[in-house]
Structure 1
């Protein structure tokens, strides 16, 4: 059975607009829609004839009453199917008149799992059930080094990644963390300025003025190599990177420019994603969906509000799954108030917080599952009772546009087959060792051998060169091998949702924090370590205090050191540079990971011993062997 069918359990109905852009089954469904409408019209006419034959006396019977209601509903829908009024009557019919909204059982079950989850486990459940997370990679590769050298003691990317002069600083920014844009430009989109590169998209042609249009159209610009031939390999790499960064791409969405490339190379992309990562690629007329797998517990991936950036709460996830449970089989046009009422009726025990509902509907609108939302009424409408006379009339009358194809494309995990939320997270991450390791390489900043189970660790050791190299070639990344593990780097800083170094005060302060933490706790070659190094809370607070004193920070961080600590540690945790160790009744303790050392200056492997109580002792250097010792050897 197809994964999407058992994941959603939705009945695929031939309905919607023939062009497939605003819902329905897409192109080629016009005949099916007309057949359904003709059947309804015939049944309505037959019901009216039967009522006339039976008479008024029989109309009071239960069957007669039901027939009257059905016939009246059908008659209200059908008479306006002429060329002029068809769209309006279709809108009225789809808005919910006489159409029951029944929730999908699997997604309804998923909504209850979200409601009962903790914030961290809810993020893992979202990753497993929706798989809409972007890839996350580090940039600024370091100098080549022996693969057996540790990240702690090898070359770093500090020269490219950070730090400019402390002497001069423009208002509103940090001095050391401000980067020279001429040396390392920050580019967030596919169309880059500067000289063209192997993996860069062709520059967009600007709109012509009237004078230029009178001369004639400019020549078509295509990606070419030196021989003048087209480069399908570059197009495939661009399409693959786009899908890995944005698993749901629509023909009219923010990444519509790359959709033609995905459709053009869909067969090749589907084969490569399936072979390397075990991902299924579904490409329709108006959307492409890369069905990613889960990353297991503790993956630190979460959804955020599209407008505010606020992280999703378990209640927000629950409202998202609940809305999807109704939208997978909803009519194309649905009254906003009717959707809210149906959500309350389907799960009376899930109390909807206004902020959670607003967050869920905003995410659905961002994915284009829903069209335009009523402005500023999501929270107010959810708080109002159905019988509240003061409810906003405009939101009650607002009609949502539903794209059922996109609604069915969102879930990828198997909620109907899992026993509970933990079982769903486990099932979604299951894969053979080769696929499991390649997924981590493609989706996460670094893969440490110590984090892998024994079978995956063995595979990585045996395929240390060939395994990462295949993915690097497929996605246009660079491989960094170290003693602790492997990292696939993206110097273009595109294939990631979190960037370090990055723009903004928080990213700059976080870069300074990790740089100084590494300098303080980096183990020396003679010191034994299992990979991660513990960080004292007092050291974190002290370094952040020094950064605050030395550099200009926004007022909100100057007045709230706790917010600076929380946001900086959250960014480092998201990039996998630190990891928490939970404690029963205390905040977690943090450990610095080896690949964090690539952001610090080159290590001094023979430091001068200090004189303070907490200074490191001088490293023991054994004396050279004497002549007698050599003779014994």
Structure 2
């Protein structure tokens, strides 16, 4: 489907109601949910004879409209909500209004063979693993994460292969893309004593190979879109853009059916409109170069810039954009505070990373106000493709987060499976919990086949794993100091606090703060210097604790205790046990510090019969 909605020049607002699968953003609703006004190139009075063609004047005479930049009202409202939100709420609001978050999954499957608890990608609706899943036992009969197979790595400090800068690895990691060998022999010439295959038709082999290639290309394109919802023809993932265009109709139908996501493919970009994940989704926007998390003020600067860029001229002076942003900033209140230079620089860096702005000098990323005379190139089509949430329909930020995540139970659960490391039944509302209980076996099968994932069924819930470790924005195990410390920390916490077999094992187990501090201190002393950990972390244990816990929280392995809990602390979640060594409930004799050693089997020890009591009348 080509992108047509931006060629009309008409304003669009959200309309209709959700069809139960779309969450307000699928095929059953109006496409755009923020006002986008198409405008052609224009030269405004006051630009000067030396100004670039289609450039707005550097200085306006008052309102932003006199400078040629009229802010979009919906995005201007969104900027105010960002500025007034708490940090966690601002992250959820970004996921709901922009939907540009990547997927996040665990990597290696648990155990060498998990039996019926682990299933590979489905091959069809009626045959293969999907049919096996349908005939298996209900979800409640599965083994618990607390005592099931683990994905423990004996050498957690082993350096990992660096991920290529080009993005997802291509077909070499996809078994469906390998050459099809009908005879079962190795690829190449047929064996010397092997009879040639008899084809049923002249085109059998090419058709099989074509089908395998098509399936591999579709899976690669789907994985790329889930990992990067905005793909451009000239961006870092340009090699996957032709695959998306080639299979756009099939991809659009599958995304709409399985996840209720709308896929828009234009001549130069593809945009997967993801829905929000609801409150507490632990998704945040980060600086593309430094990884620094966005603050509410940074989100507000981003929304304010987008409000002006959706109708900006193609050539725009940087100081004109900054002046228009100052003029368009909302009235009295927290949103009206002066722009922070660091927050403004982060917003511009993200817009440059998304290719909404080009020709942005490096000096502007450090201090936009001191960058000097600079003329930016604006891609209005990409600027209009970024917002997906419905600010025009929502009453406030909380209402927008709720509306974006609305969907019928099956779609809502599949969205969580596609985007989050694990879906626990205890975290779901009753209708979604009932759907997972009834479809916990068959539900994830089609989604796993679509994205090339593996389903891991447990008593507490389901996780879709990516053994290639590509379809995730966070890696655990990881190569950096915080990731190594987080992995060692979660291993030892599970060994300390997980319930024993036979005990009632809930989803979460309380972890005292003192235990976290003690274990982390032991880990830093034991592994820090030998493993070459960062010296600043070894000197500042508080920062190491903060970043290690933040990674575990974002991976869904721990969660803060409910507000009001005294003393405040953390809860260890059941999926954390998949990273711990298998429990040794019956240690081998002779391994304790004060135990007697086992006798040497080569030493012959005479056997002396035990004395027996004398019978009555028998002399002693």
- CA–CA distance in 2 between the matches of 1:110 and 1:345? 16
User: Paired residue for 1:592?
Assistant: 572
User: Paired residue for 1:487?
Assistant: 463
Residue 41 (structure 2) pairs with residue 12 (structure 1): no
User: Paired residue for 2:227?
Assistant: 245
**8 Å contact 1:245–1:495 — kept in the other structure?**
yes
**Partner of residue 287 from structure 2, selected from 267, 286, 305:** 305
**8 Å contact 1:188–1:493 — kept in the other structure?**
no
Q: Structure 2 vs 1, CA of residues 200 and 595 (structure 1 numbering), >3 Å: closer, same or farther?
A: farther
**8 Å contact 1:95–1:332 — kept in the other structure?**
no
Deviation at 1:190, TM superposition (A): 5.5
- CA–CA distance in 2 between the matches of 1:163 and 1:344? 55
User: Paired residue for 1:206?
Assistant: none
- CA–CA distance in 1 between the matches of 2:264 and 2:57? 27
Q: Structure 2 vs 1, CA of residues 579 and 338 (structure 1 numbering), >3 Å: closer, same or farther?
A: same
Per-residue CA deviations over 1:491-530 (Å, capped at 9, x if unaligned) read 0000000011122222122111111111111101222232
Once the two structures are superposed, the pairs formed by residues 156-235 of structure 1 within 5 Å of their partners are: 156-158=150-152, 162-164=153-155, 176-178=156-158, 192=169, 197-198=174-175, 228-229=209-210, 231-235=213-217
User: Paired residue for 2:344?
Assistant: 357
User: Paired residue for 2:53?
Assistant: 90
- CA–CA distance in 1 between the matches of 2:419 and 2:168? 23
Deviation at 1:475, TM superposition (A): 0.3
- CA–CA distance in 1 between the matches of 2:475 and 2:565? 32
Deviation at 1:586, TM superposition (A): 8.2
Q: Secondary structure of 2:311's match?
A: coil
Per-residue CA deviations over 1:245-284 (Å, capped at 9, x if unaligned) read 0000000000000000000000000000000000000000
Q: Secondary structure of 1:397's match?
A: coil
Residue 544 (structure 2) pairs with residue 564 (structure 1): yes
**8 Å contact 2:32–2:388 — kept in the other structure?**
no
Residue 95 (structure 2) pairs with residue 127 (structure 1): yes
Residue 394 (structure 2) pairs with residue 431 (structure 1): no
User: Paired residue for 1:548?
Assistant: 524
Q: Structure 2 vs 1, CA of residues 187 and 324 (structure 1 numbering), >3 Å: closer, same or farther?
A: closer
Q: Structure 2 vs 1, CA of residues 468 and 556 (structure 1 numbering), >3 Å: closer, same or farther?
A: same
- CA–CA distance in 1 between the matches of 2:560 and 2:173? 41
Q: Secondary structure of 2:500's match?
A: coil
Q: Structure 2 vs 1, CA of residues 191 and 246 (structure 1 numbering), >3 Å: closer, same or farther?
A: closer
**Partner of residue 81 from structure 2, selected from 101, 113, 119:** 113
**8 Å contact 1:332–1:403 — kept in the other structure?**
yes
Residue range with higher mean Cα deviation, 193-202 or 452-461: 193-202
Residue 558 (structure 2) pairs with residue 578 (structure 1): yes
- CA–CA distance in 2 between the matches of 1:237 and 1:568? 33
- CA–CA distance in 2 between the matches of 1:492 and 1:417? 40
State the TM-score, normalized to the length of structure 2. 0.75
Deviation at 1:541, TM superposition (A): 0.7
Of Structure 1 and Structure 2, the greater helix share is in 1
Residue 325 (structure 2) pairs with residue 343 (structure 1): yes
Deviation at 1:144, TM superposition (A): 1.3
User: Paired residue for 1:152?
Assistant: 146
**8 Å contact 1:191–1:201 — kept in the other structure?**
no
- CA–CA distance in 2 between the matches of 1:197 and 1:378? 38
User: Paired residue for 2:388?
Assistant: 412
- CA–CA distance in 2 between the matches of 1:118 and 1:367? 25
Per-residue CA deviations over 1:321-380 (Å, capped at 9, x if unaligned) read 000000000111011001001001011614211110000010000000001213323554
**8 Å contact 2:168–2:470 — kept in the other structure?**
no
User: Paired residue for 1:444?
Assistant: 420
Residue 263 (structure 2) pairs with residue 281 (structure 1): yes
Question: When the two structures are aligned, how many residues end up with a matched partner?
Answer: 498
User: Paired residue for 2:431?
Assistant: 455
User: Paired residue for 2:583?
Assistant: 603
Per-residue CA deviations over 1:398-422 (Å, capped at 9, x if unaligned) read 1111000000111000011100000
Q: Secondary structure of 1:151's match?
A: coil
**8 Å contact 1:372–1:401 — kept in the other structure?**
yes
Q: Structure 2 vs 1, CA of residues 200 and 362 (structure 1 numbering), >3 Å: closer, same or farther?
A: farther
Q: Structure 2 vs 1, CA of residues 195 and 371 (structure 1 numbering), >3 Å: closer, same or farther?
A: closer
**8 Å contact 1:187–1:492 — kept in the other structure?**
no
